């Protein structure tokens, strides 16, 4: 690792990783659809995050593109360093740009995991989130499919995304919840799942920590990220960007110095 991990470390899915991670949703075309305008820069952002700045928590999803970012991560980072956590998500279908629909049918979830394994060219997804809970499919069936894949060795750990405390409690009856990924930032300041995750010793991964870039335009980035980090040692923000300059800004903001 070239530099100390930004903002210290946290254990997620049995790996000790940097508390500051990288969200990869923006490494696509408009509407989170298709390839980025500049594929070389997208790959450079991923490599700089890991190899220059010491970010060891990379968050993605099969729905980003769809499929685009998993291919980019493969091309940028494989062979994956042992200390790097690549987390992906399944359970959303993309009918069109900007459109996201939960689909939690067991056959679909299994197919998604198998396809992510091929795109990332790995034998196991270290951390796989249920991207959204499909209200048309029993939660136990959705989680049961992922748990079966975990038992088969194709998933290492299972996480939940955009969930309430009640859902976390229900899920915990079926699986070991390895991480929860919800929105929290200085605009959306309240999420009751934050405290529950602390009580249950579940890492709380913050997506949209800068409110999709709005806070970066109107608030000091360092202040926004430090406010999140001081909410608890179980908190791990994953700001996203397609810009090397913005990546540099995030890392510098939490390390307190230009790196």
> Is residue 1 included in any domain, yes or no?
no
Distances (CA, A) of 165 to 44, 53, 100: 37, 34, 23
Is there a domain that residue 174 lies in? yes
Q: Look up the CATH number of the domain holding residue 204.
A: 3.20.20.100
Residue 88 has pLDDT above 90, yes or no: yes
How far apart, in Å, do the first and last CA atoms of the chain sit? 13
How confident is the model at residue 214, as a pLDDT?
66
Q: Where are the alpha helices (DSSP H) in the chain?
A: 39-47, 68-77, 106-120, 139-151, 165-172, 193-200, 214-218, 221-229, 244-255
Q: Would you state the pLDDT for residue 215? A: 64
Q: Containing domain of residue 75, as a range?
A: 9-255
* 248 assigned to active site: no
Beta bridge partners of 237: 206
What backbone phi and psi angles, to 5 degrees, belong to 54? Answer: 75, 20
Q: Give the pLDDT mean for 76-91.
A: 98
At 158, the pLDDT band (50, 70, 90 cuts) reads very high
- Residues 104-138: pLDDT tens digits? 999 999 999 999 999 999 999 999 999 999 999 99
- Per-residue pLDDT band for 187 (boundaries 50, 70, 90) equals confident
Secondary structure class of 71 (helix, strand, coil):
helix
CA distances from 27 to 41, 44, 64, 208 (A): 9, 11, 8, 14
Rounded to whole angstroms, the Cα distance separating 54 from 120 reads 21
How do 92-93 and 101-102 pair as beta strands?
antiparallel
Percent of the chain topping pLDDT 70: 95
Q: Is residue 205 part of a domain?
A: yes
CA-to-CA distance for 159 and 156, rounded, in angstroms? 10
pLDDT at 176 over 50: yes
3-class state of residue 97 by DSSP? coil
> What is the arithmetic mean of pLDDT over 26-34?
96
Compare 145 and 2 and report the one with higher pLDDT: 145
Across the chain, mean pLDDT equals 94
Q: Domains in the chain: how many in total? A: 1
124 belongs to a structural domain = yes
CB atoms within 10 A of CB 245: 7
Q: How confident is the model at residue 222 (pLDDT cuts 50, 70, 90)?
A: confident
Q: Is residue 194 part of a domain?
A: yes
pLDDT value of position 257: 47
Domain presence at residue 23: yes
Check 64, 129, 204, 207 and give the catalytic one: 64
């Amino acid at each position: 690792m070239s530099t100390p991990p930004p903002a210290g470390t946290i254990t997620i899915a049995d790996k000790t990783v940097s508390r500051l991670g990288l969200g990869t949703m923006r490494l696509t075309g408009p509407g989170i659809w298709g390839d980025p305008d500049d594929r070389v820069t997208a790959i450079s952002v991923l490599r700089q995050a890991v190899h220059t700045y010491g970010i060891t928590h990379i968050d993605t999803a099969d729905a980003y593109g769809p499929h685009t970012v998993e291919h980019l991560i493969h091309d940028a980072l494989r062979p994956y360093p042992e200390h790097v956590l690549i987390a992906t998500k399944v359970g959303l279908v993309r009918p069109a740009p900007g459109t996201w629909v939960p689909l939690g049918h067991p056959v679909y979830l299994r197919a998604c995991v198998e396809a992510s394994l091929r795109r990332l060219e790995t034998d196991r997804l270290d951390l796989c989130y249920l991207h959204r809970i499909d209200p048309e499919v029993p939660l136990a069936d959705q989680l049961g499919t992922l748990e079966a894949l975990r038992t088969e060795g194709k998933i290492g750990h299972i996480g939940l995304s955009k969930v309430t405390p009640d859902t976390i409690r229900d899920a915990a009856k079926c699986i070991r919840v390895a991480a929860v990924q919800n929105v929290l930032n200085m605009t959306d300041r309240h999420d009751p799942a934050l405290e529950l995750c602390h009580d249950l010793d579940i890492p709380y991964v913050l997506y949209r920590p800068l409110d999709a870039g709005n806070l970066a335009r109107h608030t000091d980035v360092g202040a926004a990220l430090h406010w999140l980090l001081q909410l608890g040692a179980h908190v791990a923000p994953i700001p996203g960007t397609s810009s090397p300059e913005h990546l540099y800004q995030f890392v510098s903001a939490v390390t307190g110095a230009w790196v």
